[in-house]
Amino acid sequence: MSCPLSREKIDAICSEAVTSLLKEPVYEHDTILKLNKEAIRFVLSALNKDASSYKWIVNSTVVQKLPAGHPTAGVTASQAASWDCERDGFLVVKKSSPVVGITLTITFVSF
């Protein structure tokens, strides 16, 4: 599996994409949903610009962090694919703030 972009490039794209999400002072569902959709669109646009010979799939999971002393929120996200192990693959990028944890899964599929 050889990603068409460097890990550093993808991490930088994802960091820029989730900046607004990480700055939110509270978890308000509608706001987080909107910002999450914008982040996914940003990542897809940047990936397509830099490596248009691949198909890209971006999955983003945002988990609300609860205050100390509260039980943690549980979240499960699953993904599966069938592909060519020599040319296709995925990377996971994790970002965090005091309010949310974000996991982005970037999948690349060659034509």
pLDDT digits (tens, 9 = 90+) for 19-63: 998 998 888 888 888 888 899 999 999 999 998 888 899 999 888
Name the residue ranges covered by the structural domains of the chain. 7-66+86-110
Query: What average pLDDT does the segment 60-81 reach?
Result: 74
7-66+86-110 domain in CATH 3.30.1140.40?
yes
Buried b / exposed e along 17-38 (16+ C-beta atoms within 10 A): bbebbbeeeeeeeeebeebbee
Predicted TM-score (pTM) of this structure: 0.81
**Residue 69: what are its φ and ψ, rounded to 5°?**
90, -10
Cβ atoms of 66 and 72 closer than 8 Å? yes
